[in-house]
Amino acid sequence: MAHASTHSPALAGKTAFVTGGSNGIGRAAVRMLAEAGARVIVAYNKGEERAREVLRELPGEGHSIQQLTLEDAASIARAVETTKSARGKLDVLVNSAGFTRPVAHNNLDALDDALFDSIMTANVRGPFAMTRAFRGLLEAGGESVIVNVSSIAAFTGSGSNIAYCASKAALDTMTLSLARVLGPKIRVMGVSPGAVATDFVAGRGRPELEKLAQATPLKKIVEPEDVAMAIMACVTHLKATTGSYITVDAGRFLA
């Protein structure tokens, strides 16, 4: 006769906060974290209804949504206060939100100062501001982890535009710097996808992704769930690792 398992889910009793949690990679990570037993805070910038839709799909209890504008310090402060009063601590922070706009690399004039600044603010200052603001709650977690969603653009120099590549390189270096100073209570990790099957880059549809995939050693399109599994590995398995990143690109950077 088979006995029911008494094994608790890996993240039972843990609280996770995911920026960009209502779409793409963030949405896939939210689901996996919830399936592992975490109570998840789904942070979104715009589109409250979509965030509520994600919430309705999640297994388990105790999940919530949180409006968050990474460029706005007051918005981040509100998120910290809400998390502190409702949860008292934070165990997992996934910095998945980001921004880009396709600009040909040789069209320097099209990458104007305003666009450059907005990309750097969202992709670099945003994750840093989240880390700074949530540090106390993460330290209260005791064995906490921050996962920064980066890109192979950081080390290939190929991506939706030059500023985006620069922003992800900065994020990778920041992951290293933060890992040195936030241990032992907080690990800091990164995941670096290649082209992923989301709507993150305007105009990049399934046919173009398929063409890119055929040029990789694994010849497969990278799905949001593939990246989410790497995020989960950082959270649940790589307990003796900090300051490193996992590449999830079907080998694209090797091609």
Quote the CA–CA distance of 52 and 129 in Å, as a whole number. 25
Catalytic annotation on 44?
A: no
Q: Which residues contact 72 (CB under 8 A, 6 or more apart)?
A: none
Quote the CA–CA distance of 171 and 243 in Å, as a whole number. 11
Quote the CA–CA distance of 193 and 176 in Å, as a whole number. 18
Beta bridge partners of 190: 148, 245
Q: Nearest to residue 94, comparing CAs of 255, 242, 231?
A: 231
Q: Nearest to residue 253, comparing CAs of 217, 224, 221, 219?
A: 217
Q: Which residues contact 10 (CB under 8 A, 6 or more apart)?
A: 36, 37, 236
Quote the CA–CA distance of 196 and 224 in Å, as a whole number. 6
Side-chain-side CA neighbours of residue 198 (13 Å):
25
Identified catalytic residue from 99, 164, 200, 245 = 164
Quote the CA–CA distance of 61 and 9 in Å, as a whole number. 13
Q: Nearest to residue 42, comparing CAs of 103, 99, 6, 92?
A: 92
Provide φ and ψ at 129, rounded to 5°. Answer: -65, -35
> Any idea which residues carry the catalytic annotation?
164
